[in-house]
Structure 1
Amino acid sequence: MTSTITRQGRITRRHVLAGGTALAAGLAAGLPRGARAADKVIRIGYQKYGSLVLLKGKGALEPALKDLGFSVTWTEFAAGPQLLEALNVGAIDFGTVGEAPPIFAQAAGAPLLYVANEPPAPEGEAILVPKDSPLKTVADLKGKRVAFNKGSNVQFLVVKALRANGLDYKDIEPVYLPPADARAAFEKGAIDAWAIWDPFQAAAEAAIGARTLVNGVGLVANHQFYLAEQKFTDANPQVVDAVLKGLYDIGEEVRADPEAAAKKLSPNVGIPAPVLAIAIRRQAFGLKPLTPEVVEAQQAIADTFFELGLLPKAIKVADVVRKAAS
């Protein structure tokens, strides 16, 4: 299930910023004619796992959008940074990511808007080590090679975990790899630790006995955010609301029966249903608009990355949060 955009999703932010116009044209060319911006369509980007995958599989969104005169196209991405790069260049209108990707995307000038979030799920991400690794604590990571997807939520987990154990970001050797490549490097012993999220986390635990050095509990919230392109949302608020309602309904179904959701996801994700059920139980459901507390927590992440020199400029998260209807 690899689309044209997915294969191009490994591009770096440098490439996007250097050639945004050409890349936007290339990405748009890879979409069906009905997905062009001039048509009444919402282009949704999703990752291999989560509520959007279930909503796509159920087919419940299409009738609701048809009543509004809209259709929908779906494109899969390897991770949140790649998804938001596509939003930045105008290839999608809506998607879901973790905490860090929208911060980097906002700093890069992406026209994104936070429209909703799920509750915290700190157990749904972790720093893993091989089952026979001599590393026992986060403090043991000093001088070690730690892999993670650059600009993803687990990058903040790494920062927080290091600081909580008397280390700094510069005390490790970051290895920037997307999930599939990181898993391969992890199994080969090319890296010492791997910061990753579910369902990749649950799959590594089950398949190769990966051991959790630390998860997000007490360190990070691990919110899941839904984002939309600003102009699209301003022009079509009812369409964005229809997608959010579909996601809320799916979330309630999953919360009521995680095992059934795992069975539905398993064929698409390629992970056994019992393993997916573990990941789903570590996830949180209950979609709602961002509260001031969530915005404040997101701002703290942005400030941390800026202090570390990982962001090119300071940002104000509240500037890109959808305002509640009056």
Structure 2
Amino acid sequence: MIAVQRFSRRTFGAFVTAFALGLMASSSPLIAQAGSPGAGKLPTKVPQGTVLRIGDPETQRALELSGLIDQLPFEVEWANISGGPQTIEAFRANALDVGSVADIPPIHATWTGLKVKIIAAKFRKDPIAHPIYQLGIAPGVVVKTLADLRGKRIAFSPGQAQGALVLRVLQAAGLKKQDVTLIELPSKGDAYPVALAGKQVDVAPIWGVLVKHYLHQYGAEGASTIPHGLRDDPAHLYA
């Protein structure tokens, strides 16, 4: 994935500290009093002995490479968990404090009765020019424009960013759900590239390194991708 939103070491360190303070604030009894949401004082420092269980492999790697991982003002137990479904499962099992997801999972979690709070947001400077996702096209399937999606089988994952993107892409193309066949398939790991290669679906949104991997492995067989032309970068830390 291209890191378009760039942080200095100082800014990046301040960001992770800020989200820890945000988490403390979200659970603070001072701001959880009945009838007075947000009325209490926000904490100004992380309490000593604080341990956060965080599911954000990407940020963990960035902190390791930047040398900031040992400068956090709190202890972290990193979990190799990412994506809405896995994060929600971990929240329900009380195995995670903070998750890093796109814009849809917090909404879906709330809709299913899970009480979560967004504590930080991130975005890209030029999201249209540097999208997170591309539309992967299965070998042998001809899709050159969004209009060509009509009649195609498209991987669809309700409650995940990929699912919301598919619906927005259809809208941009002037298509309705009835104009395509939505194949419900959770986006976990390389599930979508595998489904494309196996001809289980004709089209699927794939992201980051999976795009390069998919084209490298199946390009000779006719696999391809096309841009969707929409903003797809909103992401959140939620607890």
Task: Give the TM-score, by structure 1 length.
Answer: 0.50
How many angstroms does 1:81 deviate by? 2.7
The reply to whether residue 84 of structure 1 matches residue 97 of structure 2 is no
Give the 3 Å change call, closer, same or farther, for CA 155–73 of structure 1 in structure 2: same
Within 2, Cα distance between the matches of 1:131 and 1:222? 27
Report if the CA contact (8 A) 2:195-2:201 is conserved: yes
Q: Which of 203, 212, 217 matches 1:202?
A: 212
The reply to whether residue 211 of structure 1 matches residue 224 of structure 2 is yes
Within 2, Cα distance between the matches of 1:150 and 1:56? 33
> Could you list the runs of 4 or more consecutive aligned residues of structure 1 that deviate by over 4 angstroms after TM superposition?
56-59
Within 1, Cα distance between the matches of 2:210 and 2:82? 12
1:127-174 deviation line (CA, Å, top 9, x unaligned): 110354222222222232211444221212211111121211233222
- Helix, strand or coil at the partner of 1:199: helix
Amino acid at match of 2:212: A
The reply to whether residue 177 of structure 1 matches residue 177 of structure 2 is no
Give the 3 Å change call, closer, same or farther, for CA 86–43 of structure 1 in structure 2: same
Within 2, Cα distance between the matches of 1:138 and 1:112? 35
1:15-74 deviation line (CA, Å, top 9, x unaligned): xxxxxxxxxxxxxxxxxxxxxxxx842101124xx3333225666334433xxxx42211
Q: Which runs of 5+ in 1 are unaligned?
A: 1-38, 230-326
Amino acid at match of 1:117: A
Q: Which of 220, 225, 230 matches 2:231?
A: 220
Within 2, Cα distance between the matches of 1:78 and 1:225? 12
Matched positions, count: 182
Give the 3 Å change call, closer, same or farther, for CA 113–86 of structure 1 in structure 2: same
Give the 3 Å change call, closer, same or farther, for CA 147–97 of structure 1 in structure 2: same
Note the 1:311-326 alignment, pairs <5 A. Answer: none
Within 1, Cα distance between the matches of 2:61 and 2:100? 11
| 1:42 match | 52
Report if the CA contact (8 A) 2:104-2:159 is conserved: yes
Q: CA RMSD in A?
A: 2.5
Within 2, Cα distance between the matches of 1:194 and 1:54? 28
Report if the CA contact (8 A) 2:82-2:99 is conserved: no
Task: Determine which structure has the larger helix proportion and give its number.
Answer: 1
Report if the CA contact (8 A) 1:46-1:83 is conserved: no
Within 1, Cα distance between the matches of 2:156 and 2:83? 11
